Structure 1
Amino acid sequence: MGKKLIIAEKPSLSNTIQKALYYEKWEKYNGYSESENYICTNCFGHLFQLYDLDNYFNREKTKWNLAEIPFIPNVYKYKVKNDNGVRKQLKIIEKLSKRSDVDTIINAGDADAEGTKLVNLVINYCINKNKLNKDVKRLWFTDQSEPSIRNDIKNLRPNSEFDNYDNEATARARIDWIIGINYSRALSLIASSDKYKVTLPQGRVLGSIVKYIYDRYKEQQNFIAEKYFNIGLVFNNEEKTSVILKDSIFKEDEQIKALSTLNELNKSNTFISKVEKVQKNKYPLNLFSLTSLQNTLNKTHKLRNKAVLSAAQKLYEKGFITYPRSSSEYLASNSKEKVKAVIEVYRKNYSNIEFRDTKHIFDDEKVDSHEAIIPTTKIPEELTGDEKVVYEAIKNRFLSNFCSGECVVEFTTVTISNSSNDLIAKIKGHKIVKTGFLVFENILEDKYIPDFKEGDRIDGRYVINECMTQPPKNVSPTELNNFLESPLSKENETIDEKYKKLLEGLEIGTVATRANIIENAIDYLYIKEKNGVYTITKKGIYFIETAEKLGLLMDVEHNVQIGKYLKAVFNNKITLEQCLDVVEKFVTNSVAKAKTIKIDGFIQEKEVIGKCPVCGKEILESTKAYYCEGLKTKSCTFSIQKMDKFMVNKGKQVTKTIAKSLLNKGIAKVTGLKKIDGSSTYDAFIKLVKNGTFYNISFADKEEIPITDFGNCPRCGRTILENTKSFYCTGYQDQNEKCSYTLWKSNKYLSEKGIVLTKANYKTLIAGKKVLIKDIQRKDGKGTYNAHLSLEDTGRYVNYKMDFERAGGENATKYV
């Protein structure tokens, strides 16, 4: 019996597999490890990529040419990536596959279509080039925890069973290539003129993302605000409207009618006509799909889609959670034993959980290739940053669904009537009777209302409120995510209807790729993300309107149709060739027609970022850099790369705000820089440093850091200033009346609790006031609590102090 060659998708997975198979005596070699029964090697992600257009013409990279499109290859070809490390590793894998003692090759790519295709390209390259006769198996991961890998390695399946995954990935990659190559060139070349050149990247999913945000912009532009009036009731002990009367809306030309109604109401008696109380069981939210996880953490922690996916992927690779790129919020029925094992592990710390077999959790009809995201039996000892936030969310949602206690809420509806007409007002509140799953995920808090009784008279007065109708709000990440996942959703659509469409492929893009494409739309300057919402740019408006004029916009209808074709390929209802044939003909006809249309070229008003420190000319922005306008004439080569290595190594890139500060002030403050070990983040000032003919970014020297006033010192009344590590009194320099007041920013307790203080918070604290901190995670993970943070000055040290309320109403203080 020969050896098995395992080809993992990446080095980290190769290491995990070796740890899982600890009973094998592994010996490390250059690019692989070997034991008595296995050889374990790895790719570095994609080793192959599709040909560029220039490759098909057997030439170096050249300028785009409208005469060369539409272009559809007769045969789609792949090439090895132009990277020395990639080429070296491919040779190692090829050499291992040719060994006579290897009789089986195992595809150990990620458990998805892309992971299957990625490793298959390498396997097929080795087999076809060397005419090998090897058995090929698939190691399909339920998750990447070591116990699961040991179990999965015993249940290898023929690689051919996963041909549908390979076919879907192949179809998706080729369709994206066809649309990207042809539409991007057509749009860019037709829109450019001799004077103005513009690059307008277009993609299958990209167009739909930008169009959704563009449509919201048009709704806002066409919106006309209208004045209207309503009538509100103000309780005697309040200043503002306490409650709005139902059906009390009056148009602008009905003001006299509104005033007449108001006079009637103020002459009448107001009383409680009905008090309804009902207790209902409340149930936990569904387990997480990637989309619902992103939506939740965007709302609670302002995490962007890409950050959530990145953290979830890392947790998956470490074996802490199941496969994250899932579009389902349900588990398959054959996962019940796996879930029981996870519950047993968590029961050591949580006695109030038990296995529950319900359709709310297990439903085969709502699971395609991947299930909801849940924790595994491997519990992390310590996590930090985004990984901690993401893991806690997944864990708490899982525990919520398997909580043994019921959650009961009492809902109260109070109806307020009057003696003059039928207008009523309703006040609603609720009270948690039994906590149940809320100990794990506190998604509901008591909403207090006074203890009204039927017949009670209400003391108050009626008022008229003048209002204006509001335009549609900007697009939020949650809105965009939900649109991409269910572009054809209807109002009041049931869960069953939603999943039926999802399983038919009626979505735009995949849950695995949407986050990166949204980021691409930002990088291409089509859209902007600020304050948690997306808005369109001038370039984005031109992109959409031009693509529509030319018939080159991949809108919802086209995307949904392609999604259906891809799902049909996956389900073996149509062949890969049939799918591609439809798209190839569509793209060919669209581009040919677009070439006959004349449009106005794009005139981009370049925003001036600052002055060039070398020649004094204006600094402008491109998709990749901030550059001197002298670059066009080669009279100056100054530029600041957005993905500057110094910044990227610390988890950041050079934003427009940072670039402006560097150019105009010579220094910029950057927050959230990551430490080398990734354990935490820090803030620092950076500057531009001349290095020969180039400028590099580096940390600013201490004496270059600007001083900011943070009020008066609580001890001596002099000024409080800020540096990178603390807030300090200017009196520290006074040798006669020295003041050593120092408030350190770094605090272990606050960091562990994920508490991040703003400058406004620090200013409030130094002024002797309290800051309310909400939703602090409890140590046992069972819910959250609120606390007031303040400072206590011992005369020697300035300490943080937390005041919070214990169960039973007892106040407590913790010095941190």
Structure 2
Amino acid sequence: MKAIIAEKPSVAREIAQILDANNRKDGYFEGNGYCVTWALGHLVSLGMPEDYGIRGFDKASLPIFPHPFILTPRKTKPANSKNFQPDPSALKQLKIIKNIFSQCTSIIVATDAGREGELIFRYIYDYLKCRKPFERLWISSLTEKAIQEGFKNLKKGSEFDGLYDAAKARSEADWLVGINATQALSIAANNDVYSLGRVQTPTLALICQRFQDNKNFKQKKYWQIQLQHRKDYLNFTSLSNQQWEDKKQAEQILKAIEREGKATVEDVAVNTVKEQSPLLFDLTELQKEANRKLGLSADEVLQTAQSLYEKKFITYPRTGSKYIPEDLWSEIPELVRIHNQTDSFKQAISTLKFGNFNKRIVNDLKVTDHHGLLPTSKIPSALTASEKAIYNMIVYRLLESLSEHCSKEVSHITIKVHHYEFSIKGSKILSKGWRAIKGLLSDEISTNLDNNSKNNSDNNQTQEPQLIELPEFKKDDELKISTAKLQEKLTSPPKLYTEADLLSAMENAGRHIEDKEQQKALANIGIGTPATRASIIETLITRNYITRKSKTLIPTDKGEKVYDLIKDQKIVNVQMTAEWEMALHQIESKELNSNHFLSDIKNYTKEITQELLSLNIPQENIPELKCPKCQQHNLIIKDKIVKCPDEQCQWILFRMICGVQLSINNITSLITTGKTPIIKNMKSKNGKKFEAYLILKDDLATSFIFNNQ
């Protein structure tokens, strides 16, 4: 008998059906010489400090360097318990897997084909002390054809030792940095718990730094002059290249220009620009696009894409590549023909030239573990709104990538009045190319041109004139000035991060390094991976370090407090985190020994532990408030809850109310007077903002009172 282990029951079910192993048992399928079971995600993980006999925050035990690391079944914290305990469902499934492994002759690994999928299996394999030989099912979609092809071409398990070494090194590095840094900062903060991490803390630093830059930005007024012109029956505008901070000076210049009444063409630059078709989506690019266009979070996009993958409608979503290998190119025309049977895509596909598709997406060297995101040959039905939106994005992106470039003529005209220069910008489409797929023309072109031509010095972002088709110009032509007016503008602060912006910053962390040689080496290295960036953002939200406000990500008071404590410490170093990602890639390709990497991590951990322990953190002024229920004990005020320490009393108040964290002043007022000051910017279940007073009712539960009550 051969054992097969998948990552989820749904995937195990698909494999079992294809292999005719349809006898359903408790925790597995059986039949035709196979036993197909599943892992339920991370069933086994690295042990916590208490598994090494270290309990509570103990300065003397830091830094903690387990040797060897202990593997333990997944743990949960049951209700009414202070301690983590083994998850009963994990223990049960591990017992089933152990029994199956003991009876099989060999194992086929069918967990997700990536770093985390490999780690999930290897940790189970090592924890159970299994020594059976194993092979790897490595597939990029869950269609019947892909699974059958995968079983015909099983790979040796040893081919993925580098992948496992990288996954294990990443797991152990995160443990060393996260556990030691968290304990060190918590000890320095008088046992207030502040969680830190190898990737989450530099990510928090990015958000906090941008937020503070935005908050501290001093807006300044400046003025530009806009001119109206008409030539060959076309109206258009020009904008002064110069900006004036002195309004009176700008008004004097405006009067002089009005008196002159005409401008002279000084320079005419007309260029034909070829705008290449976009590449396929990788996960990060899909998340960024869906955040911008649909307002979905990175995690929502990942979960939606994973659902589409498990329903066999798209290929493996956790990919970091935008290309396909040469041997997959022959399947693309048939994939397009299949989607031509769907009304949604017929119009777009009619613009393509069959037999003459653009092959820009084909590049064997740039395909990583998996190729770029593609739809499969299975046409979906009964999708949710978000699934349909994401699926359509992936299909349209494929069609765009197969199209020709978009060709446009871009004009940049410089005119002069006295010695003041003005610019006129225009554009006209010569060949629509890939932009015809969804009809994205002037709006996208305008955006691209504006982004390329903005003057960002000192945050003075010049607003460009609207892009239009222009008449012909020759040097020394005279242009009449129909009207001239002064435009008052404000310098713009750095934009707060949207989720799309943050994903870009994480993905391109290496590009912002000042040292040019290091920047070159790390140009395409980010922090985190496409598969983990969404979970990093969600972790920061779960830990109440950041929150979503409209479309932006901003730090909470707690997040800013943590950042202010550690912003000058090594743990926020984005460059170092990017270098580690490069090292993990080298471990995966067997260019670097994982022991060397972990040795560097341990040295770094010693340094940050010492730095954090030496911080002088003043205690927050927590008031002594009597429990309103028992009137005997002082309340314990924590970051998330306020509660009575008496287990018989059990009175509790959660500090997060409708998206707003109750301040110490709010809590004090509520307990002492029964009513808080008015709390603003709370959000109802339907997403609408409101403000209200929070009160303690007679039964000591909380309720709202509104201004009109």
d(CA) in 2 for partners of 1:629, 1:203? 28
Q: Which residue of 1 aligns with 2:671?
A: none
**1:93 correspondence with 2:97:** yes
1:271 deviation in Å?
5.8
Partner of 1:741: none
Percentage of pairs with the same residue:
25
1:591 corresponds to which of 601, 605, 609: 609
Q: Counterparts of 2:170 and 2:701 in 1: how far apart (Å)?
A: 42
Structure-2 separation of matches of 1:86 and 1:30: 14
**Length-normalised TM-score, structure 2:** 0.79
Which one-letter code corresponds to 1:174 in the other structure?
E
Say whether the 8 Å CA contact 2:268–2:411 is kept in structure 1: yes
User: Which residue number in structure 2 is paired with residue 306 of structure 1?
Assistant: 299
* 1:36 is the counterpart of 2:32: yes
- Pairing partner for 2:686 from 659, 664, 671: 671
Aligned equivalent of 1:116, options 112, 115, 118: 118
Q: 3-state DSSP class of the match of 1:149?
A: helix
Deviations 1:61-116 (A, max 9, x none): x43222221110121010122122222222222212222xx322111110101101
DSSP-derived class of the 1:467 partner? strand
Q: Distance in 1 between matches of 2:530 and 2:500?
A: 13
Shift of 1:449: 3.5
Q: Which of 222, 242, 245 in structure 1 is aligned with 2:239?
A: 245
Please say if 1:483 is aligned against 2:498. Answer: no
Matches within 5 A, 1:122-201: 122-128=124-130, 134-192=132-190, 197-201=191-195
SS in 2 for 1:15: helix
Alpha-carbon offset, residue 204 of structure 1: 0.3
Q: Are the structure 2 counterparts of residues 634 and 183 from structure 1 closer, same or farther at C-alpha, using a change threshold of 3 Å?
A: farther
**Secondary structure, in 3 states, of the residue corresponding to 1:424?**
strand
| Count of aligned positions | 638
- Matched AA of 2:256: E
Cα displacement string for residues 630-685 of structure 1 (whole angstroms, at most 9, x for unaligned residues)? 4589755234597xxxxxxxxxx96449999xx999x9952389xxxxxxxxxxxx
Between the aligned partners of 2:662 and 2:277, the Cα distance in structure 1 is: 43
Evaluate the alpha carbon distance shift between residue 318 and residue 695 of structure 1 in structure 2; reply closer, same or farther with a 3 A threshold: farther
Question: More deviation in 368-377 or 171-180?
Answer: 368-377
Equivalent-residue separation in structure 2 for 1:512 and 1:136 (angstroms): 25
Q: Which amino acid aligns with 2:581?
A: G
Amino acid at match of 2:579: Q
Q: Is the Cα–Cα contact under 8 Å of residues 414 and 452 in structure 1 kept in the other structure?
A: no
Give CA deviations for 1:373-431 in whole Å, capped at 9, x if unaligned: 1111222122113212211111110111124xx4655446374746644523304243x
1:275–1:412 Cα contact (<8 Å) kept: no
SS at match of 2:421: coil
| Residue pair 1:641, 1:654 contacting (<8 A) in 2 also | no
SS in 2 for 1:428: strand
Q: If each structure's helix is expressed as a fraction of its own residues, which one has the higher value? A: 2
1:555 equivalent in structure 2: 573
- Closer, same or farther: CA 74–398 of 1 in aligned 2, 3 Å: same
Aligned residue number for residue 384 of structure 1: 384
Deviation for aligned residue 1:48? 0.8
Higher relative contact order (CA 8 A, sep 6+): 2
User: Counterpart of 1:734?
Assistant: none
Matches within 5 A, 1:501-580: 501=522, 506-548=525-567, 551=569, 553-580=571-598
Give 1:49's match in structure 2, choosing from 26, 41, 45: 45
Q: Which runs of 5+ in 1 are unaligned?
A: 643-652, 674-687, 698-703, 709-816
Alignment-mate amino acid for residue 250 of structure 2:
A
Change (3 A) 1:620 1:409: farther
Structure 1 Cα separation of the partners of residues 399 and 195 of structure 2: 44
Answering whether residue 676 of structure 2 is matched by residue 638 of structure 1, we say no
Asked if the contact 2:358/2:401 (under 8 Å) is kept, the reply is no
| 2:141 partner SS | coil
Q: How far off its partner does 1:20 sit?
A: 3.2
> In the alignment, does 2:618 pair up with 1:601?
yes
1:524-568 deviations in Å (ceiling 9; x for gaps)? 23223212122233322331232245x452411321232232122
> Structure 1 residues 247, 402: CA separation in 2 closer, same or farther (over 3 Å shift)?
closer
Hey, what does 2:464 align to over in structure 1?
none
User: Do 2:659 and 2:683's aligned partners in 1 also have CA atoms closer than 8 Å?
Assistant: no
Q: Is the Cα–Cα contact under 8 Å of residues 186 and 591 in structure 1 kept in the other structure?
A: yes
**CA positional deviation for 1:47:** 1.3
Return the alpha-carbon distance in structure 1 between the equivalents of residues 196 and 71 of structure 2: 22
Match of 1:445 among 434, 442, 445: 442
SS of the equivalent of 1:97 reads: helix
Tell me the residue number matched to 1:795: none
2-structure distance, mates of 1:328, 1:535 = 30
Alignment of structure 1 residues 652-731 onto 2, 5 Å? 655-656=659-660, 669-671=684-686
Task: Give the equivalent residue in structure 1 for 2:670.
Answer: none
Instruction: Read off the aligned partner of 1:524 and give its amino acid letter.
Output: R
Equivalent residue in structure 2 for 1:12, among 10, 13, 17: 10
State the alpha-carbon separation in 1 of the partners of residues 529 and 652 from structure 2.
Answer: 39
The residue type paired with residue 257 of structure 2 is L
Counterpart-to-counterpart distance in 1, 2:586 and 2:355? 36
Alignment partner of 2:253 out of 247, 253, 261: 261
Contact 2:13 2:29 in 1 (8 A): no
Shift of 1:167: 0.7
Confirm or deny: 8 A CA contact 2:629 2:649 kept in the other structure.
Answer: no
Q: Aligned pair in 2 of structure 1 residues 554, 228: CA closer, same or farther (>3 Å)?
A: closer
Q: How far apart, in 2, do the equivalents of 1:399 and 1:200 lie?
A: 47
Pair 1:331–1:622, CA change in 2 (3 A): farther
Q: How far did 1:578 drift?
A: 2.1
Alignment of 1:287-302 (within 5 A): 287-302=280-295
**1:569/1:575 contact within 8 Å kept:** yes
Aligned pair partner of 2:322 in 324, 329, 332: 329
Distance 1:357 1:414, change over 3 A: closer
| SS in structure 2 of the partner of residue 245 of structure 1 | strand
Instruction: Output the aligned Cα RMSD.
Output: 4.3
- Match of 2:511, SS state, is coil
User: Which letter maps to 2:40?
Assistant: F
Give the SS at the match of 1:670. Answer: coil
Task: State the partner residue of 2:107.
Answer: 105
Report deviation, 1:136: 1.0
CA contact (8 A) 1:397 1:441 kept: no
SS of the equivalent of 2:442 reads coil
SS at match of 1:98: helix
Secondary structure of the 2:338 match is: helix
| Distance (Å, rounded) in 2 between the aligned partners of 1:137 and 1:477 | 39
Secondary structure of residue in 2 paired with 1:7: strand
Alpha-carbon distance between aligned partners in 2 of 1:668 and 1:564, rounded to the nearest angstrom: 41
Give the letter aligned to residue 145 of structure 1. T
Change (3 A) 1:188 1:111: same
Matched, 1:369 2:387: no
Q: Distance in 1 between matches of 2:552 and 2:244?
A: 32
TM-score, with length taken from structure 1 = 0.69
State whether residues 106 and 136 of structure 1, in contact with CA within 8 Å, keep that contact through their aligned partners in structure 2: yes
Q: Deviations over 1:211-270 (max 9, x none)?
A: 11222234345544444332222569xxxx984533222243xx5543442222101233
Q: Any conservation in 2 of the 1:175–1:583 contact (CA below 8 Å)? A: yes
Q: Distance in 2 between matches of 1:410 and 1:475?
A: 32
